[in-house]
Structure 1
């Protein structure tokens, strides 16, 4: 493969599977490799420079944001702000920081989806234990979801008939002062990851539950399988991801008796499901896309 003379870094985490795939793909094409972990950067306001281990990141042609933190928290919003400063110096960021903001916490993402008319399972967000209990009793069963999380970490099922419901809500609220309670929907043992690159449909994989828990995340025992979705599902996912203008994303869709519904849109999206289920190297495609985007912008005289 002929190498192009571009320096594109990857914001991610050391030894992260998708991060390493992205680094490998870019290095193969450009001969340049730089992992940027956000805890190691500093922004020098006096000189307007974002520096990583002594390297001025404004010297890069672009950066791909693969993973902004090992665990999501409100601190991640500050990291997005630093990346926005980097973008302001002329570095092309994939995906743009403005596109990532609404997807760092679950509540912001849900507001954007609902305002965009995207069907989702019934959801209640509250700080009140009384309102939370009323919501569970009205909805029958809910999945309590932390606002800042990934791969189903910290999620908990709560059911109206459980005599310990109030105690479970109190325990959940202790860790999650703002409670996000989403109706537990009857699903066919799987949910779908519908993936887009540059707004164009790429492929779909299924996450299949092995435990019958309703949690299909691979971190909770689920497995990946290839899947051919209906045109309806693809168009629903396309509409959902278009609300954010992301370069690469995965839309989590669930098939229900009332039609397909969206759980969430990912700010970053992973590569493993596409590779294992669909034999598709998303890192390679993303690297080609990033290079072509930067080259086209330069040819057109824009960043």
Structure 2
């Protein structure tokens, strides 16, 4: 019997899907809540509620924390320690570390020649205001967030500097500013998914029209989508810049000027693939891990 633990949220939907899939295939079930983990550097052991994680056959990271914060990077370091001790961790802790921090992931993408919406990073309010004036309308994105949480749209108006100052004062010392781009063919953002570096399927998030973003958190819904081969190839290039990502989703936007990448996900999502494509990603992921340990 293979013993595979799942790092996730104990009552989270995707965590439970993955736990169910692994238990059905192996007879073993272990949810690892990183808030309950103890790293003993003297013995080189890592425990979660009495279970020695160094004795597992593998660990799958489904969700490192309920929301992204710099603390998630410290949790990833513990998983990197486990990986160095010989426990296979899916995905690569080094790649996930780069992707949790939006700026870190963005620099890898841009240095890799991946097209993205125009983006400026600065701590200076005047530089930020000049960027908003240049873009006309910009999305200010926290460096640690998911599903558009904490993002703010600021337009080039007389109140822009005050809005920028308020945004920075709210804990965003480093401001990641991205031009709001037009969507081609409807208010859709694409989730191009990969398993083991191979293309799996694509779903789209369709905005409700009630919000500027397309996330399900603000009323968006998952719909089927068949992307062009060019988009699949672009997304493949983007995720390949982060080696050994076992399961990931690349966020793509189609603009009148062509396709661009928003980000590569550190963990990927199961819900979109299931609702829009009828694909049980949890089961497929479990099979992939069992075949590769």
TM-score bracket for the superposition, by shorter chain length = over 0.9
Name the CA distance, whole Å, in 1 between partners of 2:273 and 2:132. Answer: 35
TM-score (norm 2): 0.97
Instruction: Please state how far the C-alpha of 1:221 moved relative to its aligned partner.
Output: 1.1
> Which of 187, 190, 199 is equivalent to 2:188?
190
Q: Corresponding residue for 1:137? A: 133
TM-score (norm 1): 0.94
Q: Corresponding residue for 1:124? A: 120
Instruction: Please state how far the C-alpha of 1:287 moved relative to its aligned partner.
Output: 0.2
Alignment of 1:57-206 (within 5 A): 57-160=53-156, 162-175=157-170, 176-187=172-183, 188-206=186-204
Instruction: Please state how far the C-alpha of 1:212 moved relative to its aligned partner.
Output: 5.2
Q: Deviations over 1:162-197 (max 9, x none)?
A: 221111101111121110100000113010000000
Q: Corresponding residue for 1:227? A: 225
Q: Specify the SS of the correspondent of 2:65.
A: coil
Q: Corresponding residue for 1:266? A: 265
- Say whether the 8 Å CA contact 2:204–2:225 is kept in structure 1: yes
Name the CA distance, whole Å, in 2 between partners of 1:128 and 1:213. Answer: 28
Q: Specify the SS of the correspondent of 2:249.
A: strand
Name the CA distance, whole Å, in 1 between partners of 2:62 and 2:128. Answer: 35
Root-mean-square deviation (CA), in Å? 0.8
Instruction: Please state how far the C-alpha of 1:90 moved relative to its aligned partner.
Output: 1.3
- Say whether the 8 Å CA contact 1:189–1:212 is kept in structure 2: no
Q: Corresponding residue for 1:236? A: 234
Q: Specify the SS of the correspondent of 1:13.
A: coil
Q: Corresponding residue for 1:300? A: none
Instruction: Please state how far the C-alpha of 1:211 moved relative to its aligned partner.
Output: 2.0
Instruction: Please state how far the C-alpha of 1:260 moved relative to its aligned partner.
Output: 0.3
Q: Which runs of 5+ in 1 are unaligned?
A: 295-303
Name the CA distance, whole Å, in 1 between partners of 2:163 and 2:219. Answer: 23
Name the CA distance, whole Å, in 1 between partners of 2:98 and 2:70. Answer: 12
- Say whether the 8 Å CA contact 2:208–2:219 is kept in structure 1: yes
- Say whether the 8 Å CA contact 1:189–1:214 is kept in structure 2: no
Q: Which runs of 5+ in 2 are unaligned?
A: none
Q: Deviations over 1:120-143 (max 9, x none)?
A: 000011000000000000111101
Name the CA distance, whole Å, in 1 between partners of 2:139 and 2:215. Answer: 14
